Amino acid sequence: MITASGIGLDPHISPAAAYIQLERVAKARMIDESKIKTLIDQATTINPIGPDVVNVLELNAALEQLH
């Protein structure tokens, strides 16, 4: 679910792709889904000329800080 860029691969996925994985990640990490949804929203960049993206590296770092 990583998107391609002009220079290779960016560590980004769509918000929809992140939400698809939300339940699985919550169960695996034993974290409330609402907390993960908040982190997804915080890691989402709103792009006025293209699709919105979630920075996976930023999201994973935030998830690690919850433990």
Note whether 13 and 57 are within 8 A (CB).
no
pTM above 0.85, yes or no: no
The model's confidence at residue 4, banded by pLDDT at 50, 70 and 90, is low
- Burial class of residue 6, CB neighbours in 10 A (0-12, 13-18, 19+): exposed
For 12-34, letters b (16+ CB in 10 Å) and e give: bbebeebeeeeeebbeeeeeeee
The model's confidence at residue 8, banded by pLDDT at 50, 70 and 90, is low
Share of residues in the chain with pLDDT > 90 (%)? 73
pLDDT digits (tens, 9 = 90+) for 29-59: 999 999 999 999 999 999 999 899 999 999 9
The continuous run of DSSP H or E covering 12 comes out as strand 12-13
